[in-house]
Structure 1
Amino acid sequence: MRKVVSRDGTTIAYQRAGEGPPVVLLNGAFRDHTIFDALVPELTAHCTTYVYDRRGRGQSGDSPRYAIEREIEDLAVVIEEAGGQAVVFAGSCGANLALEAALAGTPITRLALHEPYFRVGDHPRPPLDAADRLRALVAADQRGAAAEYFLNVLMGLPPAAIAQWRQGPLWATNEANAHTLAYDATLCGDYTLPVDRLAALRTPALVVNSDGTSDWLRDAAQATAAALPNASGRELPGSWHRIEMETLGRVLVEFATT
């Protein structure tokens, strides 16, 4: 992977592939750049993709204290590598980060978001001390418990579904990246949609959700699209918090190149 240094001196690792308008792919909780391994080939015939490991994950460095501002700077330095401006596609908590970056003036030309993490309407919000709870579990070397807490309390998965996740091939990655879950909880703030702040964001945006996702994630995506002045929303075929990859690739290429 290539390396670039963020403003605070943290090394950020990224990969570049393809030719065409630059698109930076920004992951959500648990994962590093490899979550986009199946999506990148759908884009590279039409776009230049930049995937990177968010700080604390994969081959990127980290800092002793987390701050949203540092993650915005990380995204900005990857966009600088992409030529100084780029389309950004981000999912889940990563979508919250992309929104914060756009609000901070990061040179994002277009913003594509997959199911941003907000609780709207009557959907209950997680406890405000979730980030502290996650940090405490990791400090006690209970990484598996931290991953379970995030999936249950923040994502709403029942114990039976989490037990299935534990048997899957990615659980070791979940535990390895458990220290970054507090970062994502911090990104979500108080979990409410900042309607007034988003009303000032003029960046063209697309907000997508899966037709098989949770009600709260669908409602959050649709409410985000409604709150952004220059946004449209689309429901695409898929499963829980995941869109069918060929369809997602086609939609992103269209959004990034037209």
Structure 2
Amino acid sequence: MRKVVSRDGTTIAYEKAGEGPPIVLLNGGFRDHTIFDSLVPELAPHCTTYVYDRRGRGQSGDSPEYAVEREIEDLTAVIGEAGGQAVVFAGSSGANLALEAVIAGAPITKLALHEPYFRIEGYPQPPADFLERLKDLLARDRRGEAAEYFLAELVGFAPETIEQWRGTPLWATNEANAHTLPYDTAICGDFKVPVERLADVRTPALVVSSDGTSDWLSAAARATAQALPNGWGMQLPGSWHRVETDILGRVLTGFAHTR
């Protein structure tokens, strides 16, 4: 992988592929750049893609003290490698990070979001002490339990669904990246759509959700699109928290090329 040094000296690993307008792909909780392995081939004939490992994951470095601002600087560093401006596609809690980056003035020309992690009023909310309990589990090196706690209390998975996830090859990655779950929790803040802070964002923004996802994720996507002055929503075929890759690739290609 290629490397770029973020503002605080942390090394961020990324991969570049394709030709055309630059688009940076930003992942959410648990995952690293490999989550986009099936999407990059859909985009690469039409766009120059940049996928990277967020700090603390994969081949990227980390710092002793975490701050959302450092992750915004990481994203900005990757955009710098893309020429100084880029379209950004971000999913899940990565979408929350991308919104924070836009608010902070990151050089994002267009923003595509997939199901940001907000909890709309009327849907179950995370426990008030969620972050403290998550950090306690990690401090005691109970990484598997921390991953389970995140999935149960923040994602809303039933015990049987978590048990199914534990039986998949991805579970090892979940545990390996469990120490970054407080990062994603911090990015989500109070889990409310920051309507007032988004009111001044003029960046064109597409917010997509899948027709097979959870009601609360659909509601969050709609609320986010409504809060963005130049935002609009789109529902696409898919399953829980996932859009069919070929369709998503066509939508993002069109979005990146539209003037």
| Alpha-carbon contact 1:131-1:183 (below 8 Å) kept | no
- Tell me the residue number matched to 1:35: 35
Flag structure 1 segments of 5+ consecutive residues without an equivalent. Answer: none
Alignment deviations for residues 156-192 of structure 1 (CA, whole Å, 9 cap, x no partner): 0101000000000100000000000010011111111
Moved over 4 A (4+): none
SS at match of 1:83: coil
- In structure 2, the partner of 1:98 is 98
Deviations 1:172-230 (A, max 9, x none): 00000000001001111111111111111110000000100000000000110011010
Distance 2:67 2:157 in 1: 27
State the alpha-carbon separation in 1 of the partners of residues 128 and 69 from structure 2.
20
Q: Structure 1-normalised TM-score?
A: 0.99
- Offset at residue 129 of structure 1 (A): 2.6
Q: CA deviation at 1:80?
A: 0.3
Number of corresponding residues: 258
Q: Secondary structure at the match of 1:106?
A: coil
Displacement after TM superposition at 1:36 (Å):
0.2
> How do 1:84-233 residues align onto structure 2 when only pairs under 5 Å count?
84-233=84-233
- Higher mean C-alpha displacement, 1-10 vs 134-143: 134-143
State the alpha-carbon separation in 2 of the partners of residues 19 and 123 from structure 1.
42
Partners of 1:19 and 1:42 lie apart in 2 by 12
SS at match of 1:9: coil
Verify the 8 A CA contact 1:4 1:77 in the aligned structure 2. Answer: yes
* CA contact 1:132–1:182 (8 Å) conserved in 2: no
Whether 2:7 is the aligned partner of 1:46: answer: no
Per-residue CA deviations over 1:22-59 (Å, capped at 9, x if unaligned) read 00000000000000000000000000000000000000
Distance 2:202 2:127 in 1: 31
Q: Equivalents in 2 of 1:182, 1:121: separation in Å?
A: 23
Name the counterpart of 2:254. 254
Give the drift of 1:132.
2.0
1:12 matched to 2:9? The reply is no
- For 2:91 and 2:220, how far apart are their aligned partners in 1? 12
Q: CA RMSD in A?
A: 0.6
TM-score, reference length from structure 2:
0.99
State how far apart, in whole Å, the 2-side matches of 1:37 and 1:133 are.
33
Q: Distance in 1 between matches of 2:159 and 2:6?
A: 39
Query: Residue 65 of structure 2: SS of its match in structure 1?
Result: coil
Range moving further from structure 2, 73-82 or 120-129: 120-129
Q: What is the identity, as a one-letter code, of the residue corresponding to 1:8?
A: D
